[in-house]
Amino acid sequence: MKASATFLLFFCHLLVVSLANSGMKRQYHPCRHLVFYFHDVVYNGQNDANATSAIVGAPQWGNLTILADKFHFGNVVVFDDPITLDNNFHSVPVGRAQGMYLYDTKYTWTAWLGFSFVFNSTQHKGTINFIGVDPLLVKTKDILVVGGTGDFFMHRGIATINTDSFEGEVYFRLRVDIKFYECW
């Protein structure tokens, strides 16, 4: 009898504790936080010395030196952009942003991004891999950090990007605020 009463008391205590914690959400805190800028200069037929990206795919009505009309739908751009610690294009690069973006929507300004930050400096070694959608008219947007290598081995998290500056369809600078939630 005493054993069953103890078991019942233990079970009731366990039930109360589990119900009390079920409404609480776990707070996630970043295990690492970094901020970088990357600078993209799209090749326009006249800036081959400075260009860090090029249009490699275009719809029939477009060409490979000017982004297509109609929200740039169908354009595919590859890039190898410098990454800096501040927003100055002429600052010493700490790595390269390498990947592509493609304009995938016919009725609004949206790009799909897939790229990596490649580091080989005294401060960082390895890569950080990103993927996500960039609705261009939204000031701040989140994309996924899906992994990494070297100093960032198996890191995952969220990168908040915003367009820090742009000059027509030739130059733009993104501020990338990276918060890792899984660090190994």
pLDDT of residue 71: 84
Confidence grade of residue 1 (pLDDT, cut at 50, 70, 90): low
**What's the rounded Cα separation, in Å, for the pair 184 and 178?**
16
Do 31 and 172 meet the contact criterion of CB atoms below 8 Å apart?
Answer: no
pLDDT of residue 23: 54
Confidence grade of residue 34 (pLDDT, cut at 50, 70, 90): very high
Q: pTM of the prediction?
A: 0.81
Q: Which of 97, 62, 57 is nearest to 79 (CA)?
A: 97
Q: What is the mean pLDDT of residues 38-55?
A: 91
Average pLDDT over the chain, rounded to whole?
Answer: 86
SS3 content of the chain, % helix, strand, coil (to 5): 10, 50, 40
The percent of residues above 70 in pLDDT, for the chain, comes to 85
Confidence grade of residue 60 (pLDDT, cut at 50, 70, 90): confident
Domains of the chain with bracketed CATH:
27-182 (2.40.480.10)
**What's the rounded Cα separation, in Å, for the pair 118 and 121?**
10
Instruction: Print the SS3 string covering 102-153.
Output: EECCCCCCEEEEEEEEEEECCCCEEEEEEEEEEECCCCEEEEEEEEEEECCC
